[in-house]
Amino acid sequence: MTEIRPLSTPGTVPARPCRADGLALLGEFAGSGLDRPVQLARRGDGQVVALTELLAHILAAADGTRDIEAIAGRVAARDGRTVSGADVRYLIADRLMPLGLIAAAAGATPTPRAAAMFTLAGRRTLLPAPVVTRLGGVLAVLFRPPVVAGLLTLLVAADGWMLRRHSVADSAATVLATPTLMLAVVGLTLAGALVHECGHAAACRYGGARPGVIGFGMYLVWPAFFTDVTDSYRLSRRGRLRTDLGGIYFNGLYALMLCGALAVSHAEVLVTAIVLAHLDAARQLAPFVRLDGYYIMGDLAGVPDLFSRMIPALRSARPARRRPPSPGEPAGGSATPAGGASGAGQAGGAGSAGPGGGARLTGLTRRARLVVTAWALLAAPAILVNLVLLLVSVPFVVPRTARAVWAQLAPAGSALGDGQVLTAVADAAAAVILALPAAGMLFVLFLLGRAVARGLAAHHHRGRDRRPRRVRRRGVAGSDRRHRETRPATPRPRARRHRATESRRRPTRSGRGCRSPGPADS
């Protein structure tokens, strides 16, 4: 889940608050790894917001027919604790309205969006939501257990037949030597990526949720398909995992279809397409970038946005440094007064300040902490190794790629001059495919450099703000003395009784072309 920063409070609270247009209450987040219950709401634009139970009750009572006092009475009766009209007014003005959950009294309702690194950009709709819903309903029958078992058994048999009767090396050599066949393989691979997204939509529909649009965008510099399965949040953990694995399952079904076409046509180019379909399914299982494996790990832990908890998980894995007790403090450490406010992480945040300094992983169940910590301990070295390999390989890859692209474009120009349009298009497509990895590496380096520069600039500004100031004071004897005056420490505000909620959105599924040579999403 990715945090949304609320916008400024949009004016006054309406006399009779009403939910924003298109808002749907999804109920409790089943299988959550948070240590407190979380209620979900989906805005009309598809953004999913995580709420505390109190905020969810206020939102449910705000139907436009009740005033503030009536909402407070209904929430108090349902929540079992005293809630005043002033409490409700504050929570609506300071929490619900800035998140776009309550319609503004005048003007447009703000709709802040979640921001995450290395996500799809330039999204465009390919199939609208009604079409995807109907298509998912038709294909949902393929997820019945007897059908799944039969098709997977048939896939294993078909793969064995293909490997016995055909040579993968000979097929790949033929494709690489023939530009038109290479173009055909690219087309078949893109079709397989679209089938992959249909698998996510069908699995979502089989579980009882409604999939959104299927579209395409750019992941770094690679074209990619995506499926909006935000509504799968209403499903159980098992239903969400089925949605995660639905695309990989349909990759296998697509390979099975290609095996059938190979048996009929004996076209050796299909052997390469079948192998690429299986490799794409294996690539989707990578848990360290925003592919299906990442969402599988998140749903297993009940914590969708793993990257936001990576640093707290790594800090929590280190042994905590114990500080000596202060005078009058028990030897076991500081004690929280009874009824005192808990840390921010206990409300479901990524972490809170620990004794060793820095944010630590809190607010999760023991099982979720173990899964997230294990994932972070594996992901951090993998991302670091990829970053080192990226930095080392760029000076060698970029010049060689430039020469290869130029060598590929030369015959394309000659073919175009001879009137061989299809051959020229195939050569140009091959040149673009050759250039994409190097372009992606350079773009990843640009993003990392920009992030480092912004971090250093922010650190510099924070250090300058904390720098002690020197002021001139008049001494008793008339001489000037310089006294160091430090900025007074800003008192930490007391935690409010009703804690702010974090807003979340389930990232859409990325399809073909989402591989990144660098440490994506770190």
DSSP E strands, 5-108: 24-28, 39-42, 48-51
Per-residue pLDDT, 259: 95
Whether residue 139 is found in the same domain as residue 278: yes
| Residue 89 and residue 175 share a domain | no
The pLDDT tens digits for 175-198 are: 888 878 888 898 999 999 999 999
16 lies in a domain? no
- 484 lies in some domain: no
What average pLDDT does this structure show over 90-101? 87
pLDDT tens for 60-77 read 888 888 888 989 888 888
- Would you say the C-alpha torsion 79, 82, 83, 85 has a positive or negative sign? positive
461, 479, 509: which is the final residue of a domain?
Answer: 461
Q: Could you report the per-residue pLDDT of 317-347, keeping only the tens digit for each?
A: 877 665 555 555 444 443 333 333 333 333 3
Last residue of a domain, one of 461, 477, 492: 461
Residue 10 scores a pLDDT above 70: no
141 is written with which tokens? 């029958």
Torsion, CA 299, CA 508, CA 188, CA 277, rounded to 10: -10
> Quick check: is 115 in a domain?
no
Q: Are 489 and 465 in contact, with CB atoms under 8 Å apart?
A: no
Least confident of 130-139, 354-363, 367-376, 484-493: 484-493
Q: Which domain holds residue 408?
A: 303-317+364-461
Q: Are residues 168 and 43 in the same domain?
A: no
* One domain for residues 40 and 179: no
286 and 186 part of one domain? yes
Together in a domain, 234 and 89: no
pLDDT of residue 470: 52
Instruction: List, for residues 96-123, the tens digit of each pLDDT value.
Output: 888 888 888 765 566 666 555 556 667 7
Q: What is the mean pLDDT of the chain?
A: 77
Distance, first Cα to last Cα, the chain: 15
* Lowest-confidence pick of 9-18, 126-135, 136-145, 466-475: 466-475
Same domain, 295 and 195: yes
- Supply 199's token pair: 């698998």
Q: Are 73 and 155 found together in one domain? A: no
132 shares its domain with 89: no
The tens digit of pLDDT for each residue in 393-436 reads: 888 888 888 888 888 788 777 777 777 777 788 778 878 877 87
Residues 269 and 201 in one domain: yes
In a domain, 13, yes or no: no
Out of 411, 436, 461, pick the residue that ends a domain. Answer: 461
**pLDDT value of residue 439:** 82
pTM: 0.72
Please indicate, yes or no, whether residues 49 and 127 belong to a single structural domain of this protein.
no
pLDDT digits (tens, 9 = 90+) for 431-478: 887 787 888 788 878 877 887 888 788 777 776 666 555 544 444 344
Domains in the chain: how many in total? Answer: 3
The token duo for 423 is 């051959």
Q: Are 211 and 143 in contact (CB under 8 A)?
A: no
Residue among 314, 273, 228, 263 at smallest CA distance from 47: 228
Per mean pLDDT, which range of 1-5, 114-118, 140-144, 148-152 is the poorest?
A: 1-5
Q: Are 424 and 179 in contact (CB under 8 A)?
A: no
Please check whether residue 330 lies inside any domain of the structure.
no
Give me the pLDDT at residue 437, please: 80
Is residue 513 a contact partner of residue 223, using CB atoms and an 8 Å limit? yes
pLDDT higher than threshold 50 for residue 486:
no
Q: Which pLDDT value is given to residue 317?
A: 82
| Strands 352-353, 359-360: pairing kind | antiparallel
Residues 6+ apart with CB under 8 A from 410: none
Contact between 145 and 249 (Cβ < 8 Å): no
**Whether residues 291 and 162 fall in one domain:** yes
Residue 499 binned pLDDT confidence (cut-offs 50, 70, 90) = very low
Give the pLDDT score at 113: 60
Q: Would residue 342 count as lying in a domain?
A: no
Contact by Cβ (8 Å): 502, 4: yes
7 within some domain: no
* Residue 197 covered by a domain: yes
